[in-house]
Amino acid sequence: MVTKLITGILVAIFMTIVIVLSRRAPKIDAETGELLLRHSSPFRILGLVALVGMPVFIAALAIKDPPQKSSDWTAVVISVCLIGTLGLLLTLEATITYVRISDRGIESRTPWTGTKAMTWSEILEVRYSGSSCWFVIIGVQGTKIRVYQWLVGIEKFVRELILNVDQTKMARAQAGIDYVLGKKRMN
């Protein structure tokens, strides 16, 4: 019971930090004026902790107090591999993903979809997925760029959308826009 409570409190504190940091201004390239949105430092640190720290911690516990049955050792090995793999995926997401905003348009890079770009005039529709916590920018030829709402500078990204994309193309993103700009609470 106490462990669950402490875990819940730690998760709430971590998410509060991520949300607060996402509202900070994005990095701005001094030469080009382009905005660069990335995951926050705590998000990257969480990936490294899951990648290295947690597997080492689990292995150390297993060595200190070895399991008695071979099936328990199997569970330890599976846990270390699973948590390490999830940590690797999180670390890749946190370190590689970026969204670049310029006066020409949007460029995005993720470890899962590679680099995609579109000009402001190529945007056909902007949607928001509350369950996935991201904006989906749909361009010509079906190109999709997903912009996670926890990236540092998300508020500036939304303001750039409002300035550069026809409002009729953003009807399905209004809930996310309102949420990011603090106009109303998400349900």
pLDDT of 72 reads: 82
User: Does the CA dihedral 153-159-164-168 come out positive or negative?
Assistant: positive
pLDDT at 58: 83
Q: Write down the pLDDT at residue 22.
A: 61
Tell me what pLDDT residue 150 has: 86
pLDDT tier, 73 (very low <50, low <70, confident <90, very high otherwise): confident
Q: Considering only residues 63 and 102, tell me which one the structure prediction assigns the higher pLDDT.
A: 102
Q: Please, how many CA atoms are within 13 Å of residue 70, restricted to the half-sphere of its CB? A: 0
Please say if the pLDDT value at position 81 is more than 80. Answer: yes
- Model confidence at 174: pLDDT above 90: yes
C-beta separation of 26 from 35 below 8 A: yes
In DSSP terms, 119 is beta-bridged to 105
pTM (whole model) above 0.85: no
> Average pLDDT in the 78-83 region?
88
Domain boundaries in the chain?
Answer: 40-96, 98-180
Q: Which residue has the tokens 């705590």?
A: 42
pLDDT in tens, 12-61: 777 777 667 666 777 888 888 899 999 988 888 888 888 888 888 888 88
- Amino acid symbol at 146: R
Rounded CA separation 51/159 (Å)? 35
CATH 1.10.287 describes domain 98-180: no
Instruction: Give the pLDDT score at 21.
Output: 66
Predicted local distance difference test score (pLDDT) of residue 187:
41
Of 86, 109, 106, the closest CA to residue 96 belongs to 109
Q: What is the pLDDT of the chain when averaged over all its residues? A: 87
Interval 135-155: pLDDT, tens: 999 999 899 999 998 899 999
The structure tokens listed for 60 are 């150390």
Query: Does residue 59 or residue 158 have the better pLDDT?
Result: 158
